[in-house]
Amino acid sequence: MMEVLKDLIKLKGVYGAFMSDNKGNIIAYDMPPGYEKDAMEEASHTVLRIVEGLDTVGCNVDHILWEYGEYRFISRKVKDGFISVLCSKTISLPLLNLSLNVIVKQINEGLIEVKPKENKKKELPPELAVAVDTSIFNTIEQELTKFIGPVAEVLITRKIGELGEERDNFPRGRLEELIDSLSAEIDSEEERQLFKQRIIDILSK
């Protein structure tokens, strides 16, 4: 699902996108810094209330479009949820809808998995289950920012959550897994390896 969102935000004028289930819970997202998950869930619940309200009076809608300031917010109904896009008011809607139509079709036909994978904490040996000093995340953020910019902070928080862990109690035994996941977000293979090596060097000191 994340790969679909990443491809979507490559379109000129698209700032971010997220996927929510039919209860308004966020399944996956790729949004600009400053957009908290709570705000996305509030937006998805608003979409649900509007759709359900219209449905009670016999209006079956499959998409909603809001305009505010220089932005557009578009939500498209898919099987088991919605896909929502934050974009520029000047974006080419035909081009955006063309991309969304393909994604919606693939989701509805089951070609794209919508339901999130369960994040279960791994059972680790006691010596590996010890929580790392949270200052390590500041170091990781500083290094990652050099490669992907200010979105590093948001990405780290998201990746920790995807592992089913918390920043304040992150086990030492899963650091390598986290670093691998973060490095995968760097486009250049050479830069991915450079980032990983820098982190390894820092952790070994």
97 Cα distance to chain centroid? 21
8 Å CB contact between 199 and 179:
yes
Residue type, 62: D
Together in a domain, 179 and 114: no
Per-residue pLDDT of the chain (205 residues; tens, 9 = 90+): 677 888 888 899 999 999 998 888 888 888 887 777 778 888 888 888 888 888 878 888 888 999 988 999 999 999 888 999 999 999 999 999 999 999 999 988 887 766 654 555 567 677 677 888 889 999 999 999 999 888 888 788 878 887 888 888 899 889 999 999 899 888 889 999 999 999 988 888 7
Together in a domain, 27 and 104: yes
Choose one of 77, 95, 125: the last residue of a domain: 125
Residues 154, 17: Cα–Cα separation, whole Å? 14
User: pTM of the prediction?
Assistant: 0.56
The closest alpha carbon to 139, from 178, 101, 100, belongs to: 178
Is residue 197 exposed (0-12), middle (13-18) or buried (19+ Cβ within 10 Å)?
Answer: exposed
Report DSSP letters for 81-125, one per residue. EEEEEEEETTS-HHHHHHHHHHHHHHHHTTSS--SPPP--PPP--
Q: Give residue 77's pLDDT.
A: 92
Together in a domain, 147 and 195: yes
8 Å CB contact between 165 and 171:
yes
Together in a domain, 33 and 115: yes
Could you read off the pLDDT of 119-142 as tens digits, one per residue? 555 676 776 778 888 899 999 999
Together in a domain, 40 and 81: yes
Count how many domains the chain has.
2
Query: 148's torsion region: left (phi>0), alpha (psi -120 to 50) or beta?
Result: alpha
Tally of helices (H runs) and strands (E runs) in the chain: 8, 5
Together in a domain, 13 and 88: yes
Residue 150, domain extent:
129-204
Together in a domain, 155 and 192: yes
Choose one of 125, 153, 185: the last residue of a domain: 125
Together in a domain, 17 and 106: yes
Together in a domain, 115 and 66: yes
The structure tokens listed for 38 are 């709570």
Together in a domain, 83 and 160: no
Choose one of 103, 125, 147: the last residue of a domain: 125
